[in-house]
């Protein structure tokens, strides 16, 4: 698997994703690998785990904190949150780490984002959906990833390693405008639906974007080593001349 630096992803987000269709306004930015990030040590907004042999898991969190579908309850697993919880003030700082913990022999383990098959609250759990509420519980807006995305597992176990998603620039502006019109009153929940799952728990953690740093690609290491080599060569020549 290739790991793209967050800086490059952010640049692409700023220049190219503003024209993305509305159905893809929650977009994948990068991959990230973190350590010491068990489920109790992260700001987990949603934990999904299908029952029995089901290959599709779908669920989310309601405005009042109640979970539905395949979402697991408990403060360390699924809950409502605000920008204040993440110490952020702008939608450009908001991101999510989708952490897969799929068992089985598939290499790499993966799931597919899908429309929710639930009989109720399906609109809150399509693909990966950020639901924005007023303080009184009115659903103000939603930001949803595309269905049909193949998400590959990053590292193993439940924790902070995963796929980073954030809002595209148009949706950042929309959410900031909504927050300005309802200052201090917004609450957020997350819902999701993953098909082709193999029974492992999937978590979605809300983060401040600057908290993560992606693993560089091999090409980045090669360029770094080449640069260091060139600097060493120049330094050696200068020392010989002196």
Asked whether the predicted pLDDT for residue 156 surpasses 90, the reply is no
Average pLDDT over residues 123-128: 96
Q: Which residues contact 61 (CB under 8 A, 6 or more apart)?
A: 45, 46, 67, 68, 71, 78, 79, 80, 189, 190, 191
Alpha-carbon span 192 to 49, nearest angstrom:
11
Q: Which residues contact 215 (CB under 8 A, 6 or more apart)?
A: 3, 31, 32, 33
- Predicted confidence at residue 238, as pLDDT, reads 54
- Predicted confidence at residue 140, as pLDDT, reads 93
Q: What band does 118 get if pLDDT is binned at 50, 70 and 90? A: very high
Asked whether the predicted pLDDT for residue 129 surpasses 60, the reply is yes
- Predicted confidence at residue 78, as pLDDT, reads 92
Between β-strands 128-133 and 202-208, what pairing exists: parallel, antiparallel or unpaired? unpaired
Asked whether the predicted pLDDT for residue 107 surpasses 70, the reply is yes
- Predicted confidence at residue 20, as pLDDT, reads 32
Domain boundaries, the chain: 6-216
Task: Please state, as a whole number, how many other Cβ atoms lie within 10 Å of the Cβ of residue 177.
Answer: 12
pLDDT in tens, 96-105: 989 888 776 5
pLDDT in tens, 15-38: 333 333 333 578 888 666 454 444
The fraction of the chain above a pLDDT of 90, given in percent, is 40
Averaged confidence pLDDT in the chain: 76
Asked whether the predicted pLDDT for residue 88 surpasses 70, the reply is yes
Comparing 178 with 37, which gets the higher pLDDT? 178
Q: How far is CA 20 from CA 27, 112, 169, in A?
A: 9, 20, 9
What global pTM score does this model have? 0.74
Place of tokens 């959906």: 129
pLDDT in tens, 59-86: 999 999 999 999 999 878 898 999 999 9
- Predicted confidence at residue 69, as pLDDT, reads 96
Q: Which of 68-72, 119-123, 176-180, 184-188 has the lowest mean pLDDT?
A: 184-188
SS3 20: coil
């Amino acid at each position: 698997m290739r790991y793209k630096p967050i800086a490059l992803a952010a640049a692409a987000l700023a220049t190219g994703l503003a024209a993305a269709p509305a159905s893809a306004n929650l977009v994948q930015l990068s991959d990230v690998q973190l350590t010491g990030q068990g489920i109790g040590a992260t700001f987990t907004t949603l934990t999904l785990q299908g029952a029995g042999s089901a290959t599709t898991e779908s669920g989310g969190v309601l405005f009042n904190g109640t979970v539905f579908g395949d979402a697991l309850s408990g403060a360390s697993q699924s809950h409502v949150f605000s920008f204040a919880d993440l110490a952020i003030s702008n939608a450009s700082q908001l991101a999510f780490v989708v952490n897969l913990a799929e068992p089985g022999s598939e290499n790499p383990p993966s799931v597919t984002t899908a429309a929710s098959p639930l009989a109720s609250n399906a609109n809150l759990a399509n693909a990966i959906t950020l639901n924005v509420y007023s303080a009184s519980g009115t659903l103000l807006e939603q930001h949803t990833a595309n269905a049909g995305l193949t998400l590959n597992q990053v590292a193993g176990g439940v924790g902070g390693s995963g796929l980073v998603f954030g809002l595209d620039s148009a949706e950042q502006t929309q959410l900031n405008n909504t927050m300005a019109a309802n200052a201090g009153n917004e609450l957020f929940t997350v819902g999701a639906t993953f098909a082709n799952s193999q029974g492992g728990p999937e978590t979605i953690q809300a983060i401040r974007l600057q908290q993560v740093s992606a693993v560089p690609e091999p090409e980045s290491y090669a360029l770094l080593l080449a640069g260091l080599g060139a600097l060493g060569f120049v330094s050696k020549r200068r020392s010989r001349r002196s």
